Amino acid sequence: MGGNNKIVAFCCENSACAAADRAGKIRLYYPDNVRVIRVPCAGRVDVLHILKAFEKGADGVLVMGCQEEACRHLTGNTRARERVKYAEILLKESGIDGERVRMVNLAPEMAHKFAQEVSEMTERLKGLGPTPIKNGGPQR
Amino acid sequence: MAIPFREVLNSGKFVITGEVGPPKGTNLEKMIHHIDLLKERVDALNVTDNQSSVMRFPSLGTCLLIKEHGGEPVFQMTCRDRNRLALQADLLFAYARGIRNVLCLTGDSITVGDHKEAKAVFDLDSVQLLHTVHTLESGWDIAGNELDGAVEFCVGACVTPDADPIEPQLIKFEKKVQAGIQFCQTQAIYDLDNFRKFMEYARKLDKNTKILAGIVLLVGARMARFMNESVPGIYVPEELIDELASAPKGKGLEKGIEIAGRLIRQIKEQAICDGVHIMAIGREELVPEILAAAGL
Amino acid sequence: MIVAERKPLEEIKEMIAGYKRILIVGCGTCVTICWAGGEKEVGILSSQLRLAFGKDGNELLTSEVTIERQCEREMVEELRDKVQEVEAILSLGCGAGVQTIAEVFEETPVYPALNTKFVGMPEREGVWVETCRACGDCLLGETGGICPVVRCAKGLLNGPCGGTKRGKCEVDPEKDCAWTLIYRRLEKQGRLDLMRKYYPPRNFQAVTRPGKVEALQA
């Protein structure tokens, strides 16, 4: 299983959400430490959402959007990729490993890819250990 | 005693100037050797002013040294390191100590040198510096105060005949001529066809300004390619690069000397301009060989 | 507009080390437009600092606010209640903003989170370039609307130096030579005579530093 690591997956409702549902329906194995947050488009995910996820105790974040060239909102997924890159830089500045955040492109039927990405992130987090921000981090 | 440079310029002879680069530090031995070696062979010796924005022994001090050794110095003055007060003060000092030739330059950018974090001054530009020299000559400083004792200089400037684009450079050259210059030393030239075009333009503009073509010694094909790629205002034609590349291993320098000598000879024989300014950049001891290769 | 850039997080962390409660203040004008100190950047910096402090096991309470203009006393005055609850203020305003806050709240230390760079304009999305040196003696009318004081690396008034290469500057081959641009613009307008004119040395007294302007109108 996923152990103590918490993953937040921001999932586009046009692709990644369906892939996650399908993975459940066909009973694919993937770690249970992932919390799916439904978003209307990966392009809706802001760097601040990613940072806040870590502040609230996430150990890894996945931003999952449609495949390249297949975004319903045209450029949402490419914007998401750029933001993930920026979030990596911001996290590194704060002393948090940039590998803890990752952009994934997938189609609605790619249940295996969803499961595989969650598993890979879980493995990566096992290597990195939990973030030093514990108990949801200091509150505002 | 050396013949005043102004007289040489007016004599109608083919003028040859050289250059010494002051050292970083107070050991002047090598530079003095170069001065002694060149002072009789050239009509005047330029002294670079913190060349390439690298801090060195000063131009002004070196000019005095050249005078002590019986040579004729050309005081190179850039606008990069001094504001208008310091520039004028140095001109007063230079004149009072017998320096009679000044070359007014803008100066390289601070960032190409070894004190990259320094403040670049550029209070004046080269054209304004030329006007400044003439204002001091008239007995006034540029703030309008009368001088107790004026200056008098043989004034020069530089030009880049291979600048890209050339038109703005020519307009600037025009402004320098209008400001009043006795001589102009050019950036290194290798392409004589292009240089002829520049000279046609320069002669049309003004017949009296003496133009000395810049000759920089090429030490190999690699240096030539590097200059084409990275040094603004320098263009080495492909044939010359091929010629350098064709030299047997270890003979690149000899080839370079041969090319420099040939360029000088062609310029002189075809009377393309009034003389040459040889920049050996750290290899001043080779200048006699270059002159020999030119048949001078 | 005034263009600024955020300081590295490490430097900001060092400045505010030792404080537990800080107010992070953004500015809604220039620095919002140049992505350095608006509401969004305040949120990001705030989150980054909490993560960084949390990682070291330290607590940091941050409150965030962005006002329309940090360089106006009246607008800064709105912060009074919030300032009373904190030990220090971190400003994402330009240098003028930081100083206005410092003047209004003399008892509270204020720290700059930005480095103010220049007066400029956007070149393309996410890229800003310097276009005005605030020299106090504008000559754009004679240079085809291209400023040589700021866009020429040497600030030359009488034409290019010898460092132009393929129309680019010797300092940075990515940057255009201002005098090449000026030449082309004036040529297009048939006004090259302006480039042939002699421009005397600049008057640095056009702005006596520190600068001060008093309006004539009441």
- Give domain status of residue B270, yes or no: yes
Q: Does B205 touch chain C (CB under 8 A)?
A: no
Query: Range of B113's domain?
Result: 13-293
Q: Does C198 touch chain B (CB under 8 A)?
A: yes
The set of residues, in sequence order, having a beta carbon less than 8 Å from that of B237 and lying 6+ positions away, is B190, B191
Q: How far apart are CA B286 and CA B274, in angstroms?
A: 22
- pLDDT over threshold 50, residue A136: no
CA distances in angstroms from B248 to B221, B227, B244, B276, listed in the order given: 12, 21, 9, 28
pLDDT tens by residue, B216-241: 999 999 999 999 998 888 999 999 99
For chain A, domain boundaries: 7-128
pLDDT of residue A132: 79
Crossing angle of the two packed helices B84-96 and B59-68, in degrees rounded to 10: 10
Q: How far apart are CA C165 and CA C147, in angstroms?
A: 19
Residue B109 maps to which CATH number? 3.20.20.220
- Give domain status of residue B84, yes or no: yes
- Give domain status of residue B3, yes or no: no
Instruction: Tell me if C51 and A94 make a contact (CB, 8 A cut-off).
Output: yes
Locus of tokens 């490993």: A97
B–A contact: 3+ Cβ pairs < 8 A: no
Q: How far apart are CA A44 and CA B238, in angstroms?
A: 56
Tell me the β-bridge partners of A8. Answer: A35, A61
Quote ipTM for the complex: 0.93
Size of interface A-C (CB pairs under 8 A): 58
Tell me the β-bridge partners of C120. Answer: C130
- Class at the top of the CATH hierarchy for domain A7-128: alpha beta
Whether residue B280 contacts residue B19, with contact meaning beta carbons closer than 8 Å, is answered with yes
Q: How far apart are the first and last CA of chain B?
A: 21
C–B contact: 3+ Cβ pairs < 8 A: yes
Q: How far apart are CA B176 and CA B169, in angstroms?
A: 11
Instruction: Tell me if B127 and C180 make a contact (CB, 8 A cut-off).
Output: no
- pLDDT over threshold 60, residue A139: no
Q: Mean pLDDT over residues A90-104, rounded? A: 96
Q: How far apart are CA A113 and CA C51, in angstroms?
A: 31
Q: Does B159 touch chain C (CB under 8 A)?
A: yes
CA distance B122 to chain C (A): 6
Q: Is B237 exposed, middle or buried (0-12, 13-18, 19+ CB in 10 A)?
A: middle
- Give domain status of residue B95, yes or no: yes
- Give domain status of residue B5, yes or no: no
pLDDT tens by residue, A11-65: 999 999 999 999 999 999 889 899 999 999 999 999 999 999 999 999 999 999 9
Residue extent(s) of CATH 3.40.50.2300 domains in chain C: 2-117
Q: Does B141 touch chain C (CB under 8 A)?
A: no
pLDDT confidence tier of residue B61, bands split at 50, 70 and 90:
very high
- Give domain status of residue B190, yes or no: yes
- Class at the top of the CATH hierarchy for domain C2-117: alpha beta
